[in-house]
Structure 1
């Protein structure tokens, strides 16, 4: 009977989920070469090729796909066995800007959950300004926000977020009419960024839809009701950047920054996985 290295199996699951050896290494706080070696030894032990890797793509082989769910179950059982000795569960409260997560939020949570036994993550989604205010008041353990100004220059830069004028491909804008916008309600730094760019370019606009988060704004955009300033990474599938076609001013990119006030191993491990998971969505 073969005995599997649980850490190697965990590395395999992370590579499968994050679609990257680099991101899996970040989540495990190790090197890419160490992750590659673990998976190579796992494949040798199983006598199966689990992952097909090219310079631009990481994907599961047919045998890797068959192994993925049993591998998840093994990692979860190992986590639960360790958690049996945990007397008190640790709660990690993380605030995140709604402009950073879209429809992939459940996927991010799944990738983070289960990595650290005994840890419960509570996630609060709001504007970058509100999240950062809550973090500075001590109401949050960590904050993941868009950096819009020089208010703080510390924190870990997770990834640069490019923005575009996202809309459905069949969105119609009649010349001479104000540009129909879908925006977040005030105060919202992305809304301010968008309307400032239009005002500076002398382009008339009107709010056709005011949403309560990326999911509602994305729905309006997908329905062809309006154009929205959105990060390309979280824009609804099928939408495109109509800025060049409509002659709209380019939007600046914004850094996604992680601020943390935690130092224990469990919490830091979960935040590493969250940062790696956010980075992985940029290549999806």
Structure 2
């Protein structure tokens, strides 16, 4: 029995993204084309792989059993193709501190599943630094928070920010707000401090981290409050803006900048972009 690689890949994406629409975006094709590929695969295997309702897409029992085999099939195909290439394809990708949240391992796993032979170089840094690196040609693509008034780049998702602290954090009324943040060049830090200044709320910076992991650790340890995207807020922290009377922070956007032209890298990046669109931050 011969299986169509494109059809198997479409099945894996539908299973991972739980959406025909997002799978179509990742493959740069139409939802109808994905449906046709999946139907042909199901006919070939003689089994229903995906159960689809107007509100839900999920694996059938046969689909769940086939998923691991499907991943191995795609990986074997890509290894065979890569064996014919002179050198592995490389993707140099920058992801902003304020975007690379807890789901990053899942996103990278999907990227690898789509293109196992791809060598992925990931740089985590401030949006401004990554945008500068992208414009210098040091990065093939960058997924960042929209900077300043620039309107270029492909919008992937809105990004909401809040004031986060450890669950047991206590703030004494009348004291300055104790802040943890990234370096002074961080755009989110500047937005937060300007918002506090505009509201006439005193603040003092008690922790400056060299990366989001350090800032998250300081917040989780109860040292201070930080302005963070809901996407990257540490597990166990809570949004305290309303309780402490802090000003609302403006909604930003996650945008993708890319100069990729080869089909393999662009396809892999579309998979990652579709996963970012899939993520939904809390509404409260």
| TM score, norm. by length of structure 1 | 0.88
Q: Which residue number in structure 2 is paired with residue 271 of structure 1?
A: 269
Q: Which residue of structure 2 aligns with residue 174 of structure 1?
A: 172
Partner of 1:80: 79
Matches within 5 A, 1:174-193: 174-193=172-191
Q: 1:66 to 1:217 in 2, by over 3 A?
A: farther
Q: Which residue of 1 aligns with 2:153?
A: 155
User: Which residue matches 1:229?
Assistant: 227
Asked whether 1:36 is paired with 2:35, we answer: yes
Unaligned stretches of 5+ residues in structure 1: none
Corresponding residue for residue 24 of structure 1: 23
Point out where structure 2 has 5 or more consecutive residues left out of the alignment. none
Question: Is the contact made by 1:19 and 1:280 (CA closer than 8 Å) also made in structure 2?
Answer: no
Q: Distance in 2 between matches of 1:226 and 1:144?
A: 28
**Are residues 249 and 53 of structure 1, via their aligned partners in 2, closer, same or farther at CA, if it must alter by over 3 Å?**
farther
Secondary structure, aligned partner of 1:251: coil
1:253-264 correspondence to structure 2 within 5 Å: 253-264=251-262
Q: C-alpha displacement at 1:72, in angstroms? A: 1.0
Question: Are 1:59 and 2:72 matched, yes or no?
Answer: no
Task: Name the residue aligned to 1:135.
Answer: 134
* Equivalent residue pairs, number: 282
1:178-203 CA distance string (max 9 Å, x none): 22222112210011111111111111
Summarize the Cα distance change of 1:85–1:18 in structure 2 as closer, same or farther, 3 Å threshold.
same
Does the 8 Å CA contact 1:116/1:266 hold for their aligned counterparts? yes
Tell me the SS of whatever aligns to 2:279: helix
Correspondence 1:91 to 2:96 = no
> How has the CA–CA distance of structure 1 residues 211 and 18 changed in structure 2, closer, same or farther, with 3 Å as cutoff?
farther
Question: What is the deviation of 1:52?
Answer: 4.0
**How far apart are residue 47 of structure 1 and its match?**
4.3
Partner of 1:202 in structure 2?
Answer: 200
| TM-score, with structure 2 as normaliser | 0.88
8 Å CA contact retained: 1:102, 1:214: no
Query: What is the RMSD of the two structures over their aligned residues, measured on CA atoms?
Result: 2.3
1:13 maps to 2:7: no
The change in CA–CA distance for 1:221 and 1:115 in structure 2 (over 3 A counts) is same
